[in-house]
Structure 1
Amino acid sequence: MPQTLLFACDLSAENRAAFARAIRLAVENGAQLDVLHVLDPHLPHQALRDLEIAVVEEMERLMTDLREDYALPAPPTLIQTVAGAPYVEIVREAHERKAGAIVLGAHRKRGQPELVGGTTLARVLRGAPCPVYLISHAANQEWQDVLVPVDFSLACRHTLRQTLMRFPDARLTLLHAWHVPGEEEFGSNSGYAQWRDREVERLRQQIQGEIDQMMNELGDVPELELELERGEPGEVLLNRLRRQPPDLLALNSQMRLGRDGHLTERLLAEPHCDMMVCRAW
């Protein structure tokens, strides 16, 4: 049985890029594409039945159009509707279908991270049993340049393992943020500057050792580039994305933005690239 890729379709204009990417991923991975639309369960019974027929027809038409636009063959496909709370049904269906990944369109309220927390998107990320692709760019863009923030936690190792497994031929960049204590208080002191430089070199060697150990655990891996930047991890990542966005950002769902809140909510409101968000274990 082929692996199942679950695409949650809301039929919005913003959802087209995600639909096209879902088709392409299914074709490239030999997976079955399950297309799901969640209906409002409080509609009258007849209205719900009529809407279900119209929605399925529209999803079939849209899939045909996208395949023609991107010159994609047809993967094995199942198009369905269910009634219920969208995030509950998406997560439940992913569990029941043993989905290898979920594909979602990007959050539409850009620049408003305070509105992300209670959205279907954010809730699916918290409960998904598999990696979730968040798509904001056209499906014809190759995922060759993949950025992975690392903090050497178990969740980080899991995300890196998923990235290597899914994108073995991509160029991987590992980004690690660091902070040397005393910078603000003693930064102008020459003695401190010498100590800081020694600490930075020691840190680089330590991190390289951590990377080597992690790579040995993961087995045969491609050449990696390690970037070290000073600052709070979330701000370092956001600045890196603004300055040099990758094709794909791979991170775990528990990454936090300093002491102020979840990094994921900032990233969802400011999508500089497509994302793959992995569960923490």
Structure 2
Amino acid sequence: MPRTLLFACDLSAENRAAFARAIRLAVDNGARLDVLHVLDPHLPHQALRDLESAVVAEMERMMLDLREDYALPAPETLIQTVTGAPYAEIIREAHERDADLIVLGAHRKRGQPELVGGTTLARVLRGAPCPVLSASHPANQDWQDVLVPVDFSLACRHTLRQTLKRFPEARLTLLHAWDIPGEQELGSDSGYARWRDREVERLRQQLEQEVESVMAELGDVPELELELEQGDPGEVLLDRLRHQPPDLLALSSHAQLGRHGHLTQRLLAEPHCDLMVCRAW
């Protein structure tokens, strides 16, 4: 039975890149692509019926245009509309269809993290039963470099496993950042420096053991690089994205990085790359 990719289409111009990416993913993975648009349930019944036909026709036209633009074959496709609250219907449909992945466009409130929390994208990221991909880069841009922030949590382990499974040909960079206690007060002390170096080496060995454990479960894995950086984890990640953005960032839905707490809203408001958020279990 083929896997199902669920693409939530809002018919906007900004949504086109995500639509094209969803088509390509479905083709590349031999999956069925379910295209969904959520209508306002408070419209009059006749208006809903007329609007449904127009929306389905527009989604079919967009899909044909994108396939021609990117020279993509036609995957098995199901195009539908439903009524209700967009985020709730997307989550419900993902459950009912046993979706392997939800694809959404990047939200349009860039540079405004305080406005992101209540958006459809942010709510779907919090409640989805499967990984959610927020795509804004052209579908013909390959995901060759994938960045995965890592720690020692089960949530991060699950995200790494999902990433390794989905992108077997990519180059994965595992980034671990940490704050070392006493650095500001004792950074110039030679004894402290020796202790810090031992701690860094211990961290590297622990992370390498974690990675090897996941690799042993999956068999063939792509090229991996492990990077350790000192500093607030959230700020280290954001600085990395600004100066050396990957093609794709893979993150746990429960990521709590650094003193700024939940990082997802900042990443959605400042998208430097496509983003895949995996549930924590």
Please say whether Structure 1 and Structure 2 have the same fold, judged by a TM-score greater than 0.5: yes
* Partner deviation per Cα, 1:189-238 (whole Å, 9 max, x = no partner): 33323332333333333333333334334444233100100111111111
The amino acid that maps onto 2:72 is L
Q: How does 1:108-257 map to 2 (within 5 A)?
A: 108-257=108-257
Cα–Cα, structure 1 residues 195 and 265, in superposed 2: closer, same or farther, change >3 Å?
same
Deviating above 4 A after TM superposition, structure 1's stretches of 4 or more consecutive aligned residues are: none
Q: How does 1:74-113 map to 2 (within 5 A)?
A: 74-113=74-113
The amino acid that maps onto 2:270 is E
Q: Distance in 2 between matches of 1:126 and 1:135?
A: 17
CA deviation after TM superposition for structure 1 residue 144, in Å: 1.2
* Partner deviation per Cα, 1:82-105 (whole Å, 9 max, x = no partner): 110000100000110111100000
Aligned residue pairs, count:
281
Gaps of 5+ in 2: none
The amino acid that maps onto 2:102 is I
Cα–Cα, structure 1 residues 178 and 259, in superposed 2: closer, same or farther, change >3 Å?
closer
CA deviation after TM superposition for structure 1 residue 169, in Å: 1.0
CA deviation after TM superposition for structure 1 residue 80, in Å: 0.7
CA deviation after TM superposition for structure 1 residue 171, in Å: 0.7
Q: Distance in 2 between matches of 1:232 and 1:8?
A: 35
* Partner SS, residue 172 of structure 1: strand
Q: Distance in 1 between matches of 2:268 and 2:183?
A: 32
RMSD: 1.4
Q: Is the 8 A contact 2:133 2:276 kept in 1?
A: yes
Cα–Cα, structure 1 residues 221 and 12, in superposed 2: closer, same or farther, change >3 Å?
same
Cα–Cα, structure 1 residues 214 and 2, in superposed 2: closer, same or farther, change >3 Å?
closer
Q: Distance in 1 between matches of 2:14 and 2:96?
A: 27
Q: Distance in 2 between matches of 1:201 and 1:157?
A: 20
Task: Name the structure 2 match of 1:34.
Answer: 34
Cα–Cα, structure 1 residues 71 and 173, in superposed 2: closer, same or farther, change >3 Å?
same
* Partner SS, residue 229 of structure 2: strand
Q: Is the 8 A contact 2:4 2:34 kept in 1?
A: yes
Q: Distance in 1 between matches of 2:98 and 2:213?
A: 31
Task: Name the structure 2 match of 1:73.
Answer: 73
* Partner SS, residue 68 of structure 2: helix
Q: Which moved more, 1:126-135 or 1:189-198?
A: 189-198
Q: Distance in 2 between matches of 1:212 and 1:4?
A: 30
Q: How does 1:49-60 map to 2 (within 5 A)?
A: 49-60=49-60
CA deviation after TM superposition for structure 1 residue 256, in Å: 1.6
Q: Does 1:278 align with 2:268?
A: no
Q: Distance in 2 between matches of 1:204 and 1:31?
A: 38
Q: Is the 8 A contact 2:176 2:233 kept in 1?
A: yes
The amino acid that maps onto 1:250 is A
CA deviation after TM superposition for structure 1 residue 185, in Å: 1.3
Q: Distance in 1 between matches of 2:278 and 2:203?
A: 27
The amino acid that maps onto 1:119 is T
TM-score, with length taken from structure 2: 0.96
Q: Distance in 2 between matches of 1:143 and 1:15?
A: 19
CA deviation after TM superposition for structure 1 residue 7, in Å: 0.3
Q: Quick one: percent identity of the two aligned structures? A: 84
* Partner SS, residue 225 of structure 1: strand
Cα–Cα, structure 1 residues 77 and 211, in superposed 2: closer, same or farther, change >3 Å?
closer
* Partner SS, residue 64 of structure 2: helix
* Partner SS, residue 111 of structure 2: coil
* Partner SS, residue 259 of structure 2: coil
